[in-house]
């Protein structure tokens, strides 16, 4: 039985992107007709569509799809959410973790939806600063909580592979709204995020 992998991609986008990537590879001085590169333009075209799929997704709709009325007003934290995004300046990856919290105001959402919201915005051409605030605003808009906190830590390959070439630098961004603008609430969040519970 022959192996057949099933994937769905926009056919026109795949053709357009493939043609452009073929031209880029040629411009770099490579032979696009050699065996190892024959299917590379198409592979890149599909990979780029996968890595930017967030443009076709609605973060607020995702949160609303699992929105439940619940009289809970304690902090909800989902931490260590893996992030794989693309820097919009050099189209190189940045990789890290997001820590997201909110204080419900009559409604909660499925925990997996928080991670999905992170992916919606990470799977676009991004800067870490904007990614952080987009996650916060989506949760604010969908749930109208008492407050939202987002902290992202990431390593940027545009700083590691090129330019300044600093291998151990870590970029941290944060955004807070509502109750998290108060020092005591923010401190509790940061303490819980950094704690390693056994």
For the annotated catalytic residues, the residue numbers are: 87-90, 128, 156, 158
Strand (E) or helix (H) holding 135? helix 128-143
DSSP symbol at 12: H
Q: Are 97 and 138 in contact (CB under 8 A)?
A: no
Q: Return the DSSP state at 72.
A: -
Sequence-distant (≥ 6) Cβ neighbours of residue 185 within 8 angstroms: 75, 103, 147, 179
Q: Which of 191, 184, 99, 106 is nearest to 148 (CA)?
A: 99
């Amino acid at each position: 039985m022959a192996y057949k992998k099933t994937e769905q991609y926009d056919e026109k986008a795949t053709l357009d992107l493939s043609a452009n990537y073929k031209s880029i590879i040629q411009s770099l001085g490579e032979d696009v007709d050699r065996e190892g590169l024959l299917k590379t333009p198409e592979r890149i075209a599909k990979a780029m569509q996968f890595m930017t799929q967030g443009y076709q997704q609605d973060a607020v709709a995702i949160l609303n799809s699992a929105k439940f009325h619940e009289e809970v007003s304690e902090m909800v934290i989902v931490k260590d959410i893996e992030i794989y995004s693309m820097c919009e300046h050099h189209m190189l990856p940045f990789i890290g973790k997001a820590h997201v919290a909110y204080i419900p105001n009559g409604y909660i959402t499925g925990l997996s939806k928080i991670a999905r919201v992170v992916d919606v915005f990470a799977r676009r051409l991004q800067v870490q600063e904007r990614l952080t605030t987009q996650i916060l605003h989506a949760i604010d808009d969908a749930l109208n909580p008492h407050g939202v906190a987002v902290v992202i830590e990431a390593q940027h390959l545009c700083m590691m592979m090129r330019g300044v070439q600093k291998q151990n630098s870590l970029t941290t961004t944060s955004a807070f709204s509502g109750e998290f603008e108060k020092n005591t609430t923010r401190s509790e969040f940061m303490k819980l995020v950094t704690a390693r519970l056994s």
